[in-house]
């Protein structure tokens, strides 16, 4: 089922939740809606479902205009963060509930309802728990039941609103992988809301980054991380080390710190250089093209990784720099108070007032 969203506008009183938003979703795609609180993610999901009515714009499912259809006629499955299971019903009864309350002319026979519900429970790996009640299940199991219940109605589109938000980190990771596998097996069209960057990048075919009711960027996860289209996407995705300064004759300078690359010669004036921690190395002496002195403030080791927090020396920044060592157990780590120099291997430049980055790869 393909979805076409065209110029959707939505207000709640004086609050402008969605602003002339348009989006194309291909059949069988798994789309992640990512953004901060208040960006319009859940509102867009509810408009697609028919739980909210847009003030303007159109929504098409497979070319059919469903803008004015109510939620029951759109054949949309909806999975909520808090499961919304009936505590007095067994797992099997919860999954089959939607089928059992259909009008008689649309309702399958009782045996078919039971067969369909049991088949779905097997598919979500909970067939052995059909006779249990929600309170006897873990959070991850309850979320699988909620997903099976949504799929029992054979929806054209599956919508998920922060489906793993109430779960602990380990269970979230397991269910992300499971949802990805289930989606590939059943090939349904899905849209899910999340504020978790890792979740969006790991699960989605494409990620839609939203800000203040608008779409900032739509891209595949790898492209989105490698080529953020705006300063907002850069700031929202991943961690950045930023050198603010004055750019002149190919050199960006602030206090004692400077970086000089031929690629910087294209600009003049105030600028910011964004450097992600995988785009730099640390060494005991400055490099020929960069002088970025830093002092090690802390070294935190988590399993095979170590995270260094670094304070600028002779220059300032709003946030300390960070660097992650992936295989910390294989090398000697710096000590607190040690002086090191950052050597960028790539970066992205924002001139003052510009929102679109210039991607830079220095000459080594």
pLDDT above 70: residue 185 = yes
- Report yes or no: 35 and 18 within 8 Å, Cβ to Cβ: no
* pLDDT at res. 264: 84
* pLDDT at res. 364: 47
- In 177-330, the DSSP E strands lie at 189-194, 206-211, 214-219, 240-248, 251-254, 257-260, 269-276, 280-283, 290-291, 293-302, 305-312, 321-325
What order of strands is seen across the sheet that includes strand 15-25?
Answer: 15-25, 3-12, 56-61, 64-65
DSSP-assigned letter for residue 338: -
pLDDT confidence band for 74 (50 / 70 / 90):
confident
Residue 28 CA to residue 189 CA, distance in Å, equals 4
Choose among 217, 233, 271, 227: nearest CA to 249.
271
* b/e code 118-135 from CB counts within 10 Å (16+ = b): bebbebbebeebbeebbe
Element (H, E) at 351: strand 347-351
13: left (phi over 0), alpha (psi -120 to 50) or beta: left
- Report yes or no: 297 and 320 within 8 Å, Cβ to Cβ: yes
Choose among 242, 187, 254: nearest CA to 2.
187
In order of start, what are the domains of the chain with their CATH numbers?
Answer: 3-233 (3.40.50.300), 239-360 (2.40.50.140)
DSSP-assigned letter for residue 294: E
Mean pLDDT of the chain: 90
Element (H, E) at 236: helix 231-236
Q: What is the largest CA-CA distance in the chain?
A: 79
Cα 327 to the chain's mean position, in Å?
26
* pLDDT at res. 178: 81
* pLDDT at res. 166: 64
* pLDDT at res. 328: 67
Element (H, E) at 33: strand 30-34
pLDDT above 90: residue 290 = yes
pLDDT confidence band for 362 (50 / 70 / 90):
low
Stretch 351-359: mean pLDDT: 88
Stretch 107-134: mean pLDDT: 91
Residue 52 CA to residue 45 CA, distance in Å, equals 9
Stretch 152-169: mean pLDDT: 82
Top mean pLDDT of 91-95, 138-142, 159-163, 315-319 is at 91-95
Residue 248 CA to residue 265 CA, distance in Å, equals 7
* pLDDT at res. 20: 96
162: its two tokens: 């922060």
């Amino acid at each position: 089922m393909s979805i076409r969203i065209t110029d959707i506008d939505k207000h709640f009183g004086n609050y402008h939740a969605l602003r002339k938003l348009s989006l194309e979703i291909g059949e069988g795609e798994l789309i992640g809606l990512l953004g901060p609180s208040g960006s319009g993610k859940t509102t867009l999901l509810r408009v697609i479902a028919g739980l909210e009515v847009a003030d303007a714009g159109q929504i098409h499912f497979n070319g059919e205009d469903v803008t004015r259809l109510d939620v029951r006629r759109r054949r949309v499955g909806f999975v909520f963060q808090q499961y919304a299971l009936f505590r007095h019903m067994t797992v099997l009864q919860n999954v089959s509930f939607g089928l059992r309350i259909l009008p008689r002319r649309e309702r399958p026979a009782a045996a078919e309802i039971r067969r369909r519900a049991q088949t779905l429970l097997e598919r979500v790996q909970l067939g052995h728990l059909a006779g249990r009640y929600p309170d006897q299940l873990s959070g991850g199991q309850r979320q699988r039941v909620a997903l099976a219940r949504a799929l029992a109605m054979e929806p054209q589109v599956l919508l998920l609103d922060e489906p793993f938000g109430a779960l602990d980190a380990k269970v979230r990771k397991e269910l992300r992988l499971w949802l990805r596998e289930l989606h590939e097996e059943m090939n349904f069209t899905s849209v899910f809301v999340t504020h978790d960057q890792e979740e969006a990048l790991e699960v989605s075919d494409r990620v839609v980054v939203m800000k203040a009711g608008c779409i900032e960027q739509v891209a595949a996860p790898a492209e989105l991380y490698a080529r953020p289209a705006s300063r907002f996407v850069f700031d929202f995705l991943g961690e950045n080390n930023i050198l603010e300064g004055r750019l002149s004759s190919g050199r960006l300078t602030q206090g004692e710190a400077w970086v000089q690359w031929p690629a910087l010669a294209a600009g003049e004036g105030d600028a910011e250089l964004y450097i992600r921690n995988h785009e730099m190395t640390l060494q005991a002496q400055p490099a020929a093209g960069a002088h970025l002195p830093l002092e090690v403030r802390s070294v935190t080791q988590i399993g095979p990784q170590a995270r260094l927090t670094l304070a600028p020396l002779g220059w300032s920044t709003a946030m300390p720099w960070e660097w992650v060592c992936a295989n910390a157990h294989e090398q000697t780590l710096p000590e607190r108070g040690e002086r090191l120099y950052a050597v960028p291997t790539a970066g992205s430049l924002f001139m003052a007032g510009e929102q679109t980055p210039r991607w830079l790869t220095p000459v080594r």
